[in-house]
């Protein structure tokens, strides 16, 4: 399988650097342009199977790809961004002021630090990897494009590359970026990381 991971385009929450988990924030004008650019970039890999996280901003990005490449897409539960719980919509300074213990845990052991009324990064890795494993088994000889989010992509890459999840910050995933991996016999080989040449 040729696996292509696409991060959604920009939202106003992204632009304002607010915490964005599973909220229904749509793409802004920049995000729409990023989605179209990503669509044109991945069109060279057609034909492919297209899956998306079922959140508004990823659905919009997948719709741009589906339209540009004349393919259908399937919303896939399990690919959602981390459930940020009570942290949704907060600024960095508000996080420090209101949730100092949570932020301390996020700095020291992010894999297990759970968001108040939300998820941990470990939870994200468990559910997203289950989806990727299922996709890999069903599309062994196909090219598959998966539109998802920052933490899911980082979590998937950590698992695929055998990296400790606490090292996720070493993997940069920009808005609208493309990451490609070759999957053969359950072995994941990185082909490209965080491509942004198309933006």
Tens digit of pLDDT for each residue in 67-123?
999 999 999 999 999 999 999 999 999 999 999 999 999 999 999 999 999 999 999
In the prediction, which pLDDT does 92 show? Answer: 94
Report the number of distinct structural domains present in the chain: 1
Nearest alpha carbon to residue 59 among 75, 70, 47, 81: 75
In the prediction, which pLDDT does 79 show? Answer: 98
> What's 105's domain CATH number?
3.40.50.1240
In the prediction, which pLDDT does 105 show? Answer: 96
Domain that holds residue 50: 2-195
Q: Which residues of the chain have pLDDT under 50?
A: none
- 29-42 helix and 56-69 helix, angle to the nearest 10 degrees: 40
Predicted TM-score of the model (pTM): 0.98
List CB contacts of 27: < 8 A, sequence separation 6 or more: 8, 9, 10, 11, 34, 35, 57, 60, 61
In the prediction, which pLDDT does 55 show? Answer: 98
């Amino acid at each position: 399988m040729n696996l292509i991971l696409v991060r959604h385009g920009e939202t106003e929450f992204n632009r304002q650097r607010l915490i964005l988990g599973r909220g229904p924030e749509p793409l802004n004008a920049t995000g729409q342009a990023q989605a179209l650019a990503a669509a044109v970039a991945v069109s060279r890999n057609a034909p492919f199977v297209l899956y998306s996280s079922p959140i508004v901003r990823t659905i919009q990005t997948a719709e741009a790809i589906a339209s540009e490449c004349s393919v259908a897409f399937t919303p896939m539960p399990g690919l959602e961004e981390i459930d940020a719980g009570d942290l949704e919509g907060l600024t960095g300074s508000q996080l420090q002021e209101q949730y100092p213990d949570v932020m301390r845990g996020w700095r020291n052991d992010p894999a297990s630090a759970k968001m108040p009324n939300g998820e941990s990064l470990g939870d994200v890795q468990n559910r997203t990897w289950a989806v990727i494993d299922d996709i890999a088994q069903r599309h062994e000889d196909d090219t598959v494009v998966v539109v998802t989010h920052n933490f899911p992509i980082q979590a998937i890459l950590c698992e695929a590359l055998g990296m400790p999840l606490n090292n996720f910050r070493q993997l940069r995933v920009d808005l609208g970026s493309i990451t490609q991996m070759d999957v053969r016999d359950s072995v994941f080989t990185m082909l490209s990381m965080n491509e942004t040449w198309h933006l």
